Structure 1
Amino acid sequence: MKIGLNFLPTLSPDEVAASEYYADCLSLCETADRLGFAHAKAVEHYFHPWGGYSPDPITFLAAVAQRTTRLRLVTGACVPAFTHPVKLAASLATLDNLSGGRLDAGFGRAFLPTEFAAFDIPLAESKSRMREGVSAVVKLWTESGFRWEGTHHTFGPLPPLLPRPVQTPHPPVLIAATASQDSFQWAGEQGHHLMIIPVVASHERLAELLRVYRNAREAHGHRDVPKLHVSYHAYVAEDHGTALREAEAHFDAYREKQLEAYASWRGVSSDQYPGYELMEAAVRSLTFEDLLKAGNVVVGDPDAAIQALNKVADRYPGGEISLHVRFGDITHRQAARTVHLLGRDVLPAVAHR
C-alpha cells in the first residue's frame, strides 16, 4: 500500500499567513519523504478560503521537489481550462525536470462558478476544455511540428517543446473523476489513470464506475496497470478518543469553509454539472459521524488508522491513498503529529497490502 499527503488548504489570511502555511507544508513533505510516504499532491483553486491558498500547484510542488528526493509530485488536479496548453505543458515538463522525473500529472475540470467567472470561461465549456487541454499537453510532450486546431485553441506548427519531460514517453496522466460515468469512460478510453474522492459518491457507485473505466481501458487496448489515487481526510493521535473529538471539531471548521465556496452555486445551474446546485445542502447535512460510519475518514489512534486503511485497500485494491492531514483549522503541530504517527506506526503495518 502506498500512502501520500494531499494538500487542500482551508485557511484565510486572518488565521494563518500564506507564507507560514507554505513553510509548514514543505516541512511536512520533508518529514513524509524521510518516513517513506509515496507522494505529495496539491490542488488548484482560487479566491475562497477553501482551497484559495493553492492557486498554483506546480509552483508549490517545484518547491517540494527541492526539499525531497523520493516523493512523487502529483498535481491533484491542475485545470487545463484556465491555462493555455503550451504554457501548461511547459510548466509541467519543467517540474518533471526539477524533480528528476517524479511528476504525476493530474488534471481536472474545476467546478466552482466563481473560478470560471474569474477566467471568463463558461461552465458549459469545462468538459471540452479539459479534454482538449489534456490531449494537447500530451501531444506537446511527445511530438513536434504539428498544427493544433482545437475547439478552444489553435497553434503551430511549432518546434519541439522545451524542456522535454524526463519520463518517457511522458509523465503519467491522471484524471480527476467523481460521479460522472462519462468521465470514467473517457479516462479509460484514453488510457489515463484516475483520482477519485469516495466521499463524493458511495462505494457501490464507485465500484460500478471503476468497472466502466476498466472495461473502457481494455476495449481500447490499454494493457498497463492503471494508477488509482483515493483521497481521505486523516487525523491521528496517540489517544483514540482525543483523535475522534478533535477531528470532529476540525471537520466542522473545514465544512464551514467548504460551504462558503459551494455557495457560489446559488442561482446557478449547468447541464455540464447536473445536481451541483444541490451540493451546498448535501454538504450541510453531512456529519462527521456519517463519514466515520461510511469509512470515509482515517481517524483515531494508530491501530484505528491501520484498520481504516486496510478497509480502503479491500475496497480499492492497488489504490494509492492520499491523506489530507491539515484540514479545517488543524495546526501544523497537529498535522505533524499525524504524519509522524502514520510514518512510525501505520505505514510499516500496511506496507504489505
Structure 2
Amino acid sequence: MTNPTDQTAAATEQSTTTRTIRHGVSFLPDCRPEKRSAGDYYTDVLAIARLADEAGFDYVKMTEHYLGNYGGYCPSPLTFLAAVAAQTTSIRLMTGCVLPAFHHPVQLAAHTAMLDALSGGRLDVGFARAWLPYEFQALGVPLDSSRDRFEATIRAVLRLWTEERVSEDTEFFSFTEATSLPPVVQSPHPPVWGAAIRSPESFQWLARQGFGVLISPPPLRSELGWSRDLIQLYLDTFAEAHAGTDVRPRVAFSVPLYVAETDAEAYDTAIPHIQEYLDVTAEAANAWTGVSSSSYKGYENMKQAFGRIGQDQLRHDGVAVVGSPESVVEQIKELRQVLSADVCLWNIDYGGQDGATMRRSLRLFVDEVLPHVREL
C-alpha cells in the first residue's frame, strides 16, 4: 500500500541487484465454521492450487494448526499437499509450516519422505516452533521447552532422511538403529526452511544450519524496520557461518495479496477480509492472556498488536499488497527489496474468501502482474 517509511525508501535505494524471484500461493485457513464449511474451503483452495500450477507458480504452501479458527482447517499440511500433488504437475509443495514440537521425528521423517516420493521430489519442508498456548496445552507439550524440542526434532529428521541405523537419546524422544522408509527422493533431502518472526535466536539458528527463512511481516508497513533488521541478522550470520561454501541464504515472505482493476475496487474488496483475518488472529493470540514463557518473550502482547489496527490504517499503512496491477507491481518491487526476498508467497485465502473472489484476484495477478515481477 502507500506511504513507505524513510527506512523503506533507503533500503530500496541500496538494493539494486536484479535476480529471479520465485512466487507461490500461501494458505492459512482462518475460516469460522458457521460461515464456511471445511469442504467448501478445501474445494476452493485446491482449485487455486491447480490454477497456480497451470500459471507457472513455483510454490503452494500450507501451514499446520489445531483447534481454533486460526488455521484449524489444516491440522495436516502434508495431507493437503498430497491432494495438491495428485492434481498438479510441476508446482513445488511447501509446508509452511509443520510443527516439530507436536511430532515424533520418526513419524515426521517418514511422512515427509512419503510425500516427497508421491510428488516426484517436489517437496520443500518448512518447520516452525508453534506459538499458540492452547495447542501446547491440549497436546501436553510445555511452552518453555519448545525451542530445544524444535531443534532436536529437526536434527533427528535430517539424520533419518540421510543416514541408516540412526540412534537418538534426548529428553524428548529416544530410538535405536532406526532406518526411515520410504527414502526421500531429493538428494541429500528436501529443501528445508524455518519460520521466524520476532526472535533473533531463531534467525541466527536457521542461518547457521543453512536453512531458508520464512517470515510473516507485521501487518503495518511502518513496522517493517524490525523485520528488515532481523533478516539482515540472518544474512550476516549466514555469510559468517558458510563463507567459502556454495550454500546460499534463502528468504521468503508471506503477505496477503489482492488485485483488481482499480485501487479503489481492490481496497473495497480486500480490506474487510484483511480485517477479518486480523480479528481471527487476535482471537487466537488472546490465549496469551495471563501466560508468559521464557521461550516466547513479548508474545503476551500479541493480541494488542493485531487487535488495535482498523480498516483506515490498513488502507494507508497495511503491509498487504492490494491495488490495481500497476500499483501492485510497484508495491512488490518495494517490499521485495526491503525484505531481501528470493521468494514471494502470496496469501490468497485470508478472511474466509470464497473461491470466486480468490480466482478473480489471482487471474489478474497472473495476467498483468507476474510477468513484471519475475526478475527484480
Q: Same-fold call, TM > 0.5?
A: yes
- Please give the alpha-carbon distance, in whole angstroms, between the structure 2 residues aligned to 1:273 and 1:231: 21
Match of 2:293 in 1: 270
- Please give the alpha-carbon distance, in whole angstroms, between the structure 2 residues aligned to 1:318 and 1:211: 11
Total equivalences in the alignment: 352
Aligned partners of 1:85 and 1:137 also within 8 Å:
yes
- Please give the alpha-carbon distance, in whole angstroms, between the structure 2 residues aligned to 1:189 and 1:352: 28
Aligned partners of 1:178 and 1:200 also within 8 Å:
no
* Aligned with residue 296 of structure 1, among 315, 319, 329: 319
- Please give the alpha-carbon distance, in whole angstroms, between the structure 2 residues aligned to 1:144 and 1:235: 47
Higher relative contact order, structure no. (Cα contacts within 8 Å, ≥ 6 residues apart): 2
- SS of the residue corresponding to residue 98 of structure 2 reads coil
- Please give the alpha-carbon distance, in whole angstroms, between the structure 2 residues aligned to 1:240 and 1:347: 17
* Aligned with residue 36 of structure 2, among 1, 7, 16: 16
Provide TM-score, normalisation by structure 2.
0.90
1:218-257 to structure 2, matched below 5 A, reads 218-221=239-242, 223-257=246-280
- Please give the alpha-carbon distance, in whole angstroms, between the structure 2 residues aligned to 1:12 and 1:283: 18
- Please give the alpha-carbon distance, in whole angstroms, between the structure 2 residues aligned to 1:329 and 1:64: 20
Question: CA offset at residue 219 of structure 1?
Answer: 2.7
Distance 1:331 1:144, change over 3 A: same
- Please give the alpha-carbon distance, in whole angstroms, between the structure 2 residues aligned to 1:295 and 1:191: 31
* Aligned with residue 46 of structure 1, among 59, 66, 83: 66
- Please give the alpha-carbon distance, in whole angstroms, between the structure 1 residues aligned to 2:184 and 2:44: 29
Identity percentage of aligned residues: 38
Match of 1:133 in 2: 153
Question: CA offset at residue 293 of structure 1?
Answer: 4.4
Which digits, 9 at most, give the CA deviation of each residue in 1:102-152, with x for residues without a partner?
Answer: 111000000101100111001011111111111110000001113211221
- Please give the alpha-carbon distance, in whole angstroms, between the structure 1 residues aligned to 2:197 and 2:352: 25
Question: CA offset at residue 215 of structure 1?
Answer: 2.7
- Please give the alpha-carbon distance, in whole angstroms, between the structure 2 residues aligned to 1:309 and 1:50: 26
| RMSD (Å) for aligned C-alpha atoms | 1.6
- Please give the alpha-carbon distance, in whole angstroms, between the structure 2 residues aligned to 1:288 and 1:226: 35
Question: CA offset at residue 187 of structure 1?
Answer: 0.7
Which digits, 9 at most, give the CA deviation of each residue in 1:40-86, with x for residues without a partner?
Answer: 00011111111100110000001111111111111001000001000
Question: CA offset at residue 218 of structure 1?
Answer: 2.8
Aligned partners of 1:179 and 1:200 also within 8 Å:
no
In structure 2, stretches of 5+ residues that fail to align are 1-20
Question: CA offset at residue 316 of structure 1?
Answer: 3.1
Match of 1:327 in 2: 350
State whether structure 2 residue 219 is matched by structure 1 residue 196: no
Distance 1:208 1:254, change over 3 A: closer
Provide TM-score, normalisation by structure 1.
0.96
- Please give the alpha-carbon distance, in whole angstroms, between the structure 2 residues aligned to 1:210 and 1:250: 28
Aligned partners of 1:231 and 1:322 also within 8 Å:
yes
- SS of the residue corresponding to residue 24 of structure 2 reads strand
In structure 1, stretches of 5+ residues that fail to align are none
Question: CA offset at residue 230 of structure 1?
Answer: 0.5
Greater mean deviation of Cα atoms: 79-88 or 247-256: 247-256
- Please give the alpha-carbon distance, in whole angstroms, between the structure 1 residues aligned to 2:35 and 2:225: 38
